[in-house]
Amino acid sequence: MLNYMLLNLRLAKTKFLGDESGAVDLIVIVILIAIVIVLAIAFKDKIVELISGWFEEAEEVGSEATSEVTF
């Protein structure tokens, strides 16, 4: 009985240490994050210009909407 439990424990340890299916997923995630960072650095000026345009447009729409409100 004790030998059976020890054998199962060794088998579980071997499966746990030998299973590398999650390692590939982790490597893919790290590579994708690195690609996103490189693209963000490469297109930093365009991204800032785009976001600034959005905020300027939102500010214009907001100021138009509040100028029409009267109490």
Q: Where are the domains of the chain?
A: 20-71
The sign of the torsion formed by the CA atoms of 14, 16, 21, 24 equals: negative
Asked if the model's pLDDT at residue 19 lies above 70, the reply is no
Separation between Cα atoms, residue 60 and residue 2, nearest integer Å: 77
Average pLDDT over residues 59-67: 84
37 against 18, higher pLDDT: 37
**Residue recorded with tokens 């060794």:** 10
Residue 53: its pLDDT value, please?
A: 95
What is the pTM assigned to this prediction?
0.49
Residue 52: its pLDDT value, please?
A: 96
